[in-house]
């Protein structure tokens, strides 16, 4: 089995060359050897390989003596919520999130919402597979599992975060990216409008709602502005109040404002965090190493207790528990809530924004004004042959600036900051830059990009992504 598929907080690889049904079966059996769960629930996304991989995973758990529940095609945040709300010992999301269609993965959540991973947990599972997996062969039969539909329970949970009666009759465009979000959002809006007169209902305009693992319209990765271009145009065309874009497994959310402008993850984090701390400034909040200065400004204004964390759901979920945090936000569109078992949900964040629009009677653009003081590039990826060497060369180049190594390399000055870090899910080096002016942003981005791609071409194995 390819050892590279065992990452920090999930298992992820290209199907079927790096991760296939036999591998998935063995991994499930090794997880039982390691964690000894009795009850397990499995959900999957819309990828073409997801049904057969999920079936193999369930067979592995079943053959290891577990009681297995099949949640069907659901969002990853629904799987994490089911762990906390329904008391499973372990839940598994069969998904590769925003990755291209050829990828598939497995994400495990312990009872109570913490992610399996870190501290070498997934690597220990790899050792068990290597040691005992030779004798484990996937059986030629269907699994005999319990099937459970949790959609209505999930929608009820989501709506508990919104003041439904006070919501304005907005027009909202949603791009589901042909992932799993379409059926979920459609049902959410049905419940949102339940019992309301026609002129008081929130209007849903659907874009790419039918699940299709080929992702025929664009990659289900809304952190990349090119993948929300259709949504931005549709918001303007429909004169909508806002747009929403979900990734492939529907746990990440990005918004588009009423002018058709993409709202980055730092702006969204600052907006939600500001509302949460306005309600109670004693709450502890977390933010990852890539969040912008707008998040820092919110924390300083409320004099809040805050912690900067590493990038990644696993690190943040565990930090949510450790520090008793009420909320955490990531630049990548993940938003975590204490009242959601410390797990993330884009839909909960969306409900909070809709409630904020209703309470303040202000548009999304107006709400974002104080959080749009700085200038950022979209996260940019580079294929690098030796990530460690690349980071060390960058640190040497900028040795006279303030540096930290919390997550990759962060370079800080009074006028700009940049973070260069390895991806946890793909063999890439990711670049984020923020500055006080567009001119400084352009200059620094060009310098860093040139240093990585031209100054040291031996580091770069492929083109800028």
User: Which residues are registered as beta bridge partners of 287?
Assistant: 308, 329
460 pLDDT exceeds 60? no
Question: Quick one: pLDDT band at residue 342, thresholds 50, 70, 90?
Answer: very high
Query: Are both 351 and 418 inside the same structural domain?
Result: no
Query: Are both 170 and 319 inside the same structural domain?
Result: yes
Query: Are both 289 and 322 inside the same structural domain?
Result: yes
Query: Are both 409 and 460 inside the same structural domain?
Result: yes
417 contact partners, CB below 8 Å, separation of at least 6: 293, 410, 411, 433, 434
Domain closes at, from 357, 372, 387: 372
Alpha-carbon Rg for the chain, nearest whole angstrom, is 22
Q: What is the rounded distance in angstroms from the CA atom of residue 132 to the CA atom of residue 31?
A: 12
Query: Are both 109 and 181 inside the same structural domain?
Result: no
Per-residue pLDDT averaged across 228-249, rounded?
A: 98
User: Given this model, what pLDDT does residue 457 score?
Assistant: 45
Q: Which of 70, 73, 65, 118 is nearest to 91 (CA)?
A: 70
Kindly give the pairing relationship between strand 103-110 and strand 262-263: unpaired
SS3 for 431?
strand
Domain closes at, from 80, 115, 149: 149
Number of domains in the chain: 3
Query: Are both 166 and 307 inside the same structural domain?
Result: yes
User: Given this model, what pLDDT does residue 165 score?
Assistant: 74
Tell me, what CATH number does 448's domain have? Answer: 3.30.310.50
Are the C-beta atoms of 452 and 431 separated by less than 8 Å? Answer: yes
Domain closes at, from 149, 170, 205: 149
Owning domain of residue 210:
150-372
Q: What is the rounded distance in angstroms from the CA atom of residue 222 to the CA atom of residue 464?
A: 18
Place of tokens 């950022």: 376
Residue 177 burial (10 A CB sphere; 0-12, 13-18, 19+): buried
22 pLDDT exceeds 50? yes
177 pLDDT exceeds 50? yes
Query: Are both 300 and 381 inside the same structural domain?
Result: no
Residue predicted with more confidence, 328 or 1: 328
Q: Which of 247, 271, 267 is nearest to 355 (CA)?
A: 271
309 contact partners, CB below 8 Å, separation of at least 6: 286, 287, 288, 289, 315, 316, 319, 328, 406
User: Which residues are registered as beta bridge partners of 201?
Assistant: none
Query: Are both 71 and 26 inside the same structural domain?
Result: yes
Place of tokens 């400034």: 281
User: Given this model, what pLDDT does residue 462 score?
Assistant: 38
The Cα-based distances of 432 to 230, 418, 419 in angstroms read: 24, 5, 5
Per-residue pLDDT averaged across 377-384, rounded?
A: 88
User: Given this model, what pLDDT does residue 442 score?
Assistant: 97
When the pLDDT of each residue in the chain is averaged and rounded to a whole number, the result is: 93
How far is CA 444 from its chain centroid?
Answer: 28
Residue 400 burial (10 A CB sphere; 0-12, 13-18, 19+): exposed
pLDDT tens digits, one per residue of 422-456:
987 666 899 999 999 999 999 999 999 988 886 55
Query: Are both 244 and 106 inside the same structural domain?
Result: no
User: Given this model, what pLDDT does residue 464 score?
Assistant: 39
Residue 126 burial (10 A CB sphere; 0-12, 13-18, 19+): buried
Query: Are both 163 and 302 inside the same structural domain?
Result: yes
Query: Are both 228 and 185 inside the same structural domain?
Result: yes
Tell me, what CATH number does 26's domain have? Answer: 3.40.120.10
180 pLDDT exceeds 70? yes
Cis check: omega of the bond before 304, within 30 degrees of 0: no
Q: Lowest-pLDDT range, 172-181, 291-300, 402-411, 445-454?
A: 445-454
Place of tokens 């399996």: 116
Query: Are both 85 and 101 inside the same structural domain?
Result: yes
Per-residue pLDDT averaged across 60-87, rounded?
A: 97
Q: What is the rounded distance in angstroms from the CA atom of residue 422 to the CA atom of residue 96?
A: 18
User: Which residues are registered as beta bridge partners of 106?
Assistant: 11, 94
Q: What is the rounded distance in angstroms from the CA atom of residue 269 to the CA atom of residue 137?
A: 46
465 pLDDT exceeds 50? no
461 pLDDT exceeds 70? no
């Amino acid at each position: 089995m390819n050892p590279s598929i065992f990452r920090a907080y999930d298992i992820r690889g290209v199907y079927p060359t790096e991760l296939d049904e036999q591998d998935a079966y063995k991994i499930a059996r090794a997880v039982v050897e390691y964690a000894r769960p009795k009850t397990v629930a499995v959900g999957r996304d819309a990828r073409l390989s997801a049904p057969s991989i999920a079936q193999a995973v369930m067979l592995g758990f079943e053959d290891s003596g577990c009681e297995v529940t099949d949640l069907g095609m659901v969002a990853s945040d629904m799987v994490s919520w089911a762990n906390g709300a329904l008391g499973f010992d372990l839940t598994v999301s069969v998904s590769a999130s925003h990755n291209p269609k050829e990828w598939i993965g497995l994400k495990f959540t312990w009872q109570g919402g913490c992610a399996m991973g870190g501290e070498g947990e997934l690597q220990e599972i790899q050792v068990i597979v290597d040691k005992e997996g030779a004798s484990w062969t996937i059986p030629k039969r269907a699994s005999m599992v319990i099937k459970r539909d949790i959609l209505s329970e999930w929608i009820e949970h989501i709506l508990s975060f919104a003041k439904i009666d006070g919501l304005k009759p907005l027009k909202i465009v949603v791009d589901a990216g042909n992932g799993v979000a379409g059926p979920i959002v459609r049902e959410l809006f049905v419940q949102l409008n339940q019992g309301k007169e026609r002129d008081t209902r929130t209007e849903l305009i659907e874009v790419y709602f039918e699940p299709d693992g080929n992702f025929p319209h664009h990659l289900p990765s809304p952190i990349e502005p090119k993948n929300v271009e259709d949504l931005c145009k549709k918001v303007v065309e429909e004169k909508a109040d806002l747009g929403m874009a979900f990734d492939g497994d529907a746990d990440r959310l990005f918004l588009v404002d009423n002018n058709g402008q993409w709202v980055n993850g730092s702006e969204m984090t600052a907006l939600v965090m500001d509302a949460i701390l306005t309600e109670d400034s004693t709450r502890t909040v977390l933010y990852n190493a890539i969040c912008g200065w707008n998040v820092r400004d919110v924390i300083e204004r409320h004099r809040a207790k805050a912690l900067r964390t590493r990038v990644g759901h696993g690190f943040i979920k565990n930090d949510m528990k450790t520090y008793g945090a009420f909320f955490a936000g990531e630049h990548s569109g993940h938003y975590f809530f204490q009242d959601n078992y410390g797990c993330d949900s884009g839909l909960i964040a969306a409900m909070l924004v809709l409630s904020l629009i209703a309470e303040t009677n202000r548009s999304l653009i107006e709400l974002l004004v104080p959080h749009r003081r700085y200038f950022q590039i979209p996260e940019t990826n580079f294929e690098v042959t030796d990530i460690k060497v690349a980071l060390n060369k960058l640190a040497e180049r900028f040795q006279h600036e303030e540096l930290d190594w919390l997550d990759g390399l962060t370079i800080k000055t009074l006028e700009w900051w940049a973070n260069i870090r390895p991806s946890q899910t793909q063999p890439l080096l990711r670049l984020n830059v923020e500055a006080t002016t567009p001119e400084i942003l352009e200059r620094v981005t060009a310098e860093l990009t040139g240093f990585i791609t031209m100054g040291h071409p031996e580091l770069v194995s492929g083109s800028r992504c």
